[in-house]
Structure 1
């Protein structure tokens, strides 16, 4: 290998983000052996291992880490050339848009958004990444296009747009032996709860409101996400607090129902965020518009 091309740059960038050769191959539309062969050639070109297998997947060496700013600059340049204001066409583009969001957002938003994209831009693909403390830096670098959720980590240099309002309700199994059609403050305090401690959510807002009300919940179980919450509530007597849009999905099969919380919990806004570097980029503008049109009627 005497020269690098954009496919090599994209491979390095994708493997840095995924830490997994199989996932990298799938995202790039390549076979796993092809990716492995390409990595071997890149290792020879740079005279460096580039990626080392660890307990947390394929981790980049310091050589790759030092090259990341240049790699991102090259990818952004090619993206601007290929998907510029004149050339970007959602009907023909096969661009991969990357969206940062919580697991709640994945349940509530992604299916609706993908269905909307399928009708308007059948070749557009999505990659969802977790909303973390690094998300602002990823937006600035162009590693992700949009962040969606309720977050306070965005500082100067970021735009935001409200998508919908959210508030918490209480989930309980439909055949709960003690709770029927409403939830009293006495029941709320007496019953055991499962608590979801998920980053990038309004969990802190919820806890503050409960503390301000002078109420102490009996937490019997803590979980890191909402992904298994429906099964927990469905098969136990535990109560769970969840955002209303998520609750509507979890209650669809009627084995779980939602009730008003007997204390005042503030509502909050779910927004989309993007960096000012990409405010005028036509692909980003288009995606923001689709997200807003899809979710603002919620």
Structure 2
């Protein structure tokens, strides 16, 4: 059952989002897990507001998504965003959790998978995040693959990210994306970005260099698109430094028996501690950069639709 089947999607949208849709304005969806589980306070609040500001500066309307008392909210207001940033009772929800949350009437921050599912049902085509989930670097017999990858096969969304989080097994993540038939686009790069690190050294199948080109691709396909935007060089972490921090964080997680949905937040927090805040600065920067790029693509997509209306095929 659809998480929004009980009511029309408009009932879950803020007045601003409904007004933007009525006017045909470009909208960019944003997730809330990074607010409640990805970054500490007050960096999480500052980052969420900066991402929304970047979307507006590029000419689009931000729609930060979360779940309050079991119901999806599309377009959290500043007070609600601050609640997500401060509360210790916010759950982390993937798409499978949405119906259960409605039954229990609980608050939850939405992952990439859940945010994209909700955005899809609200007919919002563009979404920005930091890094998607993927295949974890877990030793056998563990088997941990993010639902983000599967959800991309079920939606028609243009997702802008800085690749997959580099706490993951990136070669196998890319292999699974290929298996699922997800188009992976390198924005001004031919190499797959690695979240805090500007490049993993792994090739991407396609490169595009302008928001206009990506908007055209989005208009031509009925499938989801993963746009990978490398972190700026001045914010990028050296690969050797990151690997040292990651190996230590993984040992700590194994010692504490942390796994499943708790693993990624733990690793990101521990790596931030080991890096003395350098990864926090990088994370904030790439989230804002991705929000801006997603908005630029959404604006160009709107222009294409306007061109089509003014020049219909004969």
The verdict on a shared fold, with TM-score over 0.5 as the criterion, is no
Which structure features the higher share of helix residues? Answer: 2
Larger radius of gyration: 1
TM-score of the pair, normalised by structure 2: 0.30
- More strand, by proportion: 1
TM-score w.r.t. length of structure 1: 0.31
